[in-house]
């Protein structure tokens, strides 16, 4: 056994970290795929956006259910109500971050079109890109 085997990784180090490269698909279609594993379900920006959209929908549905539970506990104190309030707060944070992720994915899709010379965006959409964030 080598000195590193069987020991916990040092802080900030990741054992056997794999990196993936992103490159255009050579088949003429304007898609970027992760070359790490071609069978990955999130190999394109579009498939990642679909997944984030579904996740956002599930978070919003759950937040609605939690809101209804909170209304039913109105007037009642206790740990259950406090826990539901915390859940509602965390779901709102998650909803915000997922919505931001969808905007970033859309920006990447639009930027890819610009880089590859595809005529897809009008001026208003191009000015809406969040390039600084």
Per-residue 3-state assignment (H helix, E strand, C coil) for the chain: CCCCCCCCCCCCCCCCCCCCCEEECCCCCCCEEECCCCCCCCCCHHHHHHHHHHHHHHHHHHHHHHHHHHHHCCCCCCHHHHHHHHHHHHHHHHHHHHHHHHHHHHHHHHHHHHHCCCCCCCHHHHHCCCCCC
Residue 76 is part of which domain span?
Answer: 44-127
Confirm whether 76 is domain-assigned.
Answer: yes
Confirm whether 28 is domain-assigned.
Answer: no
Confirm whether 98 is domain-assigned.
Answer: yes
pLDDT digits (tens, 9 = 90+) for 62-118: 999 999 999 998 887 789 999 999 999 999 999 999 999 999 999 999 999 999 887
pLDDT at residue 119 above 90?
no
Average pLDDT across the chain, whole number: 74
pLDDT category at 18 given cuts 50, 70, 90 is: very low
Confirm whether 56 is domain-assigned.
Answer: yes
pTM: 0.58
């Amino acid at each position: 056994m080598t000195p590193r085997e069987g020991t916990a990784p040092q802080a900030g180090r990741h054992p056997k970290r794999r990196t993936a490269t992103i490159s255009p698909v050579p088949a003429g279609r304007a898609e970027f795929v992760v070359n790490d594993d071609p069978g990955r379900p999130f190999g394109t920006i579009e498939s990642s956006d679909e997944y984030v959209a579904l996740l956002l929908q599930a978070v919003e549905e759950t937040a609605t259910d939690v809101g209804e539970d909170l209304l039913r506990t109105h007037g009642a104190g206790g740990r259950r109500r406090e826990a539901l309030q915390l859940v509602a707060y965390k779901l709102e944070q998650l909803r915000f971050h997922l919505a931001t992720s969808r905007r970033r994915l859309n920006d990447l899709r639009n930027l890819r079109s610009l880089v590859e010379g595809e005529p897809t965006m009008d001026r208003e959409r191009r000015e809406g890109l969040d390039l600084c964030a």
